[in-house]
Amino acid sequence: MTPWDGFPTEAELAARYADITGASVADLNWCVVLACFKLGILQEGTYARAAAGQAERATADWMHATTIKLFERALSRM
């Protein structure tokens, strides 16, 4: 069992959102790319603070690794 067992897929969530709100999800991919870059930029701020000795290094290293994955996800959707 994984933590995501039973959760809807991204496509299922998007379809449900569109059904409930009547809004178009045609630009969803663009929104996901933007969200990945925005979150990554925020996380890199913590990485920069750690490099300056103002944040915990272990947390910053984890955030930096996560940022790389976010950026890779964004690039794969462009």
Domain assignment present for residue 39? The answer is yes
Type of residue at 46: T
Segment 12-30 mean pLDDT: 95
State the CB neighbour count (10 A cutoff) for residue 60. Answer: 20
**DSSP per-residue codes, 6-64:** TPPPHHHHHHHHHHHH----TTHHHHHHHHHHHHHHHHHHHHHHHHTTSS-HHHHHHHH
- pLDDT score recorded for residue 2: 72
The mean pLDDT value for 46-62 works out to 88
Higher pLDDT, 20 or 59: 20
Q: Which domain holds residue 51?
A: 26-76
Reported as type and span, the H/E element at residue 70 is helix 57-76
Residue 21 resides in a domain: no
Let me know if residue 6 belongs to a domain: no
pLDDT confidence of residue 1: 59
Evaluate whether residue 30 is within a structural domain.
yes
| Residue 29 in this model has a pLDDT that exceeds 90 | yes
Average pLDDT, the chain: 92
Counting the structural domains of the chain, the total is 1
